[in-house]
Amino acid sequence: MQPRCTLIHAVAVVAAAAAAALLLPPLAAGQPWPTCDTSAGTYKAGSAYESNLRDLAAALRAGAAASPSALFATGIRGGAPDAVYGLLLCRGDLSVSDCFDCGTRVLADVGRVCGGRHGRAKDVALVYNQCYARFSNKGDFLAATDNAGGETLLISGTNITGGAGVVAAYDRAVTELLAATVRYAVEENPARLFATGQRVGDDARDPGFRNIYSMAQCSPDLPPASCRRCLDGVLARWWQVFPLNGEGARVAGARCYLRSELGVGPFYTGAPMVVLRADKV
């Protein structure tokens, strides 16, 4: 499903960057939302690196679609200096065919979206509503247990209305829902490390906002404890990197992914795994 966002911005957060220094340059509201890091090097069209990249993207698509319990694949193609490391993680509620379709989009986009007159970036992250893909000439992100290798931040271009009290109540509601969604993903769904959530608002208690939807996910090869640390780390700095009145936001990384959206309907399929109600919290 499409997010409620009408305008989306993106930023790469490299391991050495401080959260306080983040800038959110505008990006066209169309998928994929890429992060392109040329500091890791560039490659030319028709090169051995490009051939390995395309071979790996196709292999990851097949591997993720062949594992319905995980919808996840990692791999490497080629040898130095043309080795390519990659990861594909589909949203945990997808069907195998939808995961394959998202992998097909990755295959079509990976060599296209991060090009420039000096060459194409070797270190690339592609974020879609249905999957996340990462490719690099360095495999550190595959060995990591957190998103230290880089993150993509996406933020809605629309804001809730109301005064400081409404914004504070909204922030508390988002934090509570995300924390509950993280707990469910780790404790109740440890095999897949995935959960969706919904906070059902109340017009009298929640002027300016009602239903909030959420998702928490880790790459399923992580131990649950590592997944919890990764997601807790993202949540701990949520309001340091996102505006307090933003209607939707997400942090997408190779190891964990967290998202919230205010809207009239969920961005995921099926019933939410976690439900919080305004009159019960």
Structurally, the chain folds into a number of domains equal to: 2
**What are the per-10-residue average pLDDT scores of the chain (281 residues)?**
35 34 44 94 96 98 96 97 98 97 98 88 97 97 94 89 87 96 98 96 71 97 98 97 93 98 92 89 55
Domain-located, residue 148: no
Say if residue 92 is in the same domain as residue 192. Answer: no
What pLDDT score does 30 carry?
81
Of 97, 115, 143, which one is at a domain's C-terminal end? 143
Q: Give the structural domain span for 42.
A: 31-143
Say if residue 138 is in the same domain as residue 171. Answer: no
Domain-located, residue 19: no
What pLDDT score does 141 carry?
96
Say if residue 35 is in the same domain as residue 91. Answer: yes
Say if residue 171 is in the same domain as residue 124. Answer: no
Of 143, 167, 191, which one is at a domain's C-terminal end? 143
Domain-located, residue 41: yes
Q: What share of the chain is helix, strand, coil (3-state, %, to 5)?
A: 30, 30, 40
Say if residue 104 is in the same domain as residue 183. Answer: no
CATH classification of the domain holding 61: 3.30.430.20
What pLDDT score does 207 carry?
66
Distance between CA 190 and CA 273 in Å, rounded? 13
Cβ neighbour number for residue 44 with a 10 Å cutoff: 12
What pLDDT score does 13 carry?
36
Residues making up the chain, counted from first to last:
281
Domain-located, residue 168: yes
What pLDDT score does 212 carry?
95
Say if residue 164 is in the same domain as residue 275. Answer: yes
Strand order, beta sheet including 212-218: 26-27, 8-13, 151-156, 248-253, 256-262, 212-218, 194-200, 274-277
What pLDDT score does 162 carry?
81
Say if residue 44 is in the same domain as residue 132. Answer: yes
Domain-located, residue 10: no
pLDDT, tens digit, 9 for 90 and up, residues 168-199: 989 999 999 999 999 999 999 999 999 999 99
Indicate the pairing of strand 33-43 with strand 26-27: unpaired
Looking up tokens 């992998």 gives 103
What pLDDT score does 234 carry?
98
Residues 6+ apart with CB under 8 A from 51: 78
Domain-located, residue 11: no
32 alpha carbon, distance to own chain's centre: 11
Say if residue 79 is in the same domain as residue 137. Answer: yes
- The H-assigned helical ranges of 110-223 are 140-143, 164-183
What pLDDT score does 98 carry?
98
Domain-located, residue 21: no
What pLDDT score does 232 carry?
98
Say if residue 115 is in the same domain as residue 201. Answer: no
Classify the C-alpha dihedral 37-38-40-41 as positive or negative.
positive
Say if residue 222 is in the same domain as residue 267. Answer: yes
Contact predicate 188/195, CB 8 Å: yes
Longest dimension (CA), the chain: 62
The model's pTM is 0.89
260 alpha carbon, distance to own chain's centre: 11
Of 99, 121, 143, which one is at a domain's C-terminal end? 143
Say if residue 165 is in the same domain as residue 234. Answer: yes
Indicate the pairing of strand 212-218 with strand 256-262: antiparallel
Say if residue 230 is in the same domain as residue 189. Answer: yes
Domain-located, residue 179: yes
CB-based burial label for 118 (10 Å; 0-12, 13-18, 19+): exposed
Cβ neighbour number for residue 69 with a 10 Å cutoff: 9
